[in-house]
Amino acid sequence: MSIVESFDLYAPRLVDKEEYFSFGHRACQGCGEALAIRLMCKALGKDTVIVNATGCMEVVSSLYPTTAWKLPWIHVAFPNSASVGSGVEAGLKVLRRKGRIPDRDVKAVSIGGDGGTVDIGIQALSGAMERGHDLLYVCFDNEAYMNTGIQRSGATPFGASTTTDPAGLASFGKKAWKKNVAEIMVAHNVPYVATACHSYPLDFMNKVKKAVKVKGPSYIHCLSVCPTGWRLPPEQCIKAGRMAVQTGIFPLYEVEDGKYRMTIETRELRPVEEYLKLQGRFRHLSEDEKKVIQERVNQEYKRLMNKVECLPSWSDL
């Protein structure tokens, strides 16, 4: 058992026992995104206003007349979670200034899936980051438009089969590489950017806690395993997330005031093949196509490590 795995074993005694995203929602069995939402809410605490773009988590959590949310929560359209979050943040400032609410930190947090972030919502997200709102944006990336039928998005990996990029005689799946929105946010010179995954819960929760303390915009990109869209058994959800990190396909790091730090280090990457073979969406790939993906992962990981100034230690976990 690794240090991180053994530390995660004792996580329950270290986190808030209050559930701000309740059980009884309608997420699919083994949904990694629902787990990630639950972890995020525990890290945020009650002084939070959630702005939720249309997507899986909006649909499963708010079917009238019920709700799974125990925090103030607003459902907004696909493209404007960051815009509405900016307005909430501005409104909170005014209410504090007028003495209408206590002078304490109440954080506006905008969330969206990869469709509502990487594609449809990136204009609003870029604007909010550029304007410098005191806003946390969290993208829950399940790598396709899962809510509407598993269509490809800008975050869908190269070679993955989706309903709009199906594998077959004329296609091997998506032909473009995954859009790296975390690096796009770094280019906006925001104070805090991080990647995360629900399979490393304490790492994710620590990043959320750090992000909400930032005065200004912050961004977290959380990989969220979708057993339905990824074509894997629900019980493989956590393993798939860990394998994404351990193969270097989705490294976990943070960028604080422009300085890169790995939060979960993989000294020797596992072969990409171990990750791909877990998922039906990659079952059609040839050995040559898998080699192309492996080479790309190696290049991207090396490029990232060249930026890193600090590696994790026990005290950081």
Find how far residue 9's CA is from the centre of its chain: 22
Portion of the chain with pLDDT greater than 70, in percent:
94
**pLDDT-derived band of residue 314, with 50, 70 and 90 as boundaries?**
very low
- The number of distinct structural domains making up the chain is 1
Domain extent, residue 162, equals 3-316
Rounded CA gap, 60 and 28, in Å? Answer: 9
Amino acid at 163: T
- Mean pLDDT for the chain? 93
Least confident of 12-21, 98-107, 252-261, 288-297: 12-21
316 pLDDT above the threshold of 50: no
Rounded CA gap, 265 and 267, in Å? Answer: 6
313 pLDDT above the threshold of 80: no
5 pLDDT above the threshold of 90: no
**pLDDT-derived band of residue 4, with 50, 70 and 90 as boundaries?**
low
**pLDDT-derived band of residue 137, with 50, 70 and 90 as boundaries?**
very high
33 pLDDT above the threshold of 70: yes
Rounded CA gap, 190 and 195, in Å? Answer: 14
**pLDDT-derived band of residue 102, with 50, 70 and 90 as boundaries?**
confident
- Mean pLDDT for the stretch of residues 293-314: 89
Strand 259-264 relative to strand 252-256, pairing: antiparallel
Burial label, 116 (beta-carbon count in 10 A; 0-12, 13-18, 19+): buried
pLDDT in tens, 164-190: 999 998 888 999 999 999 999 999 999
Q: So what's the pLDDT on residue 166?
A: 96
**pLDDT-derived band of residue 265, with 50, 70 and 90 as boundaries?**
confident
Least confident of 50-54, 97-101, 131-135, 145-149: 97-101
User: Of the segments 63-67, 69-73, 311-315, which one has the largest average pLDDT value?
Assistant: 69-73
> What CATH number should be reported for the domain holding residue 22?
3.40.50.970
**pLDDT-derived band of residue 315, with 50, 70 and 90 as boundaries?**
very low
Amino acid at 160: A
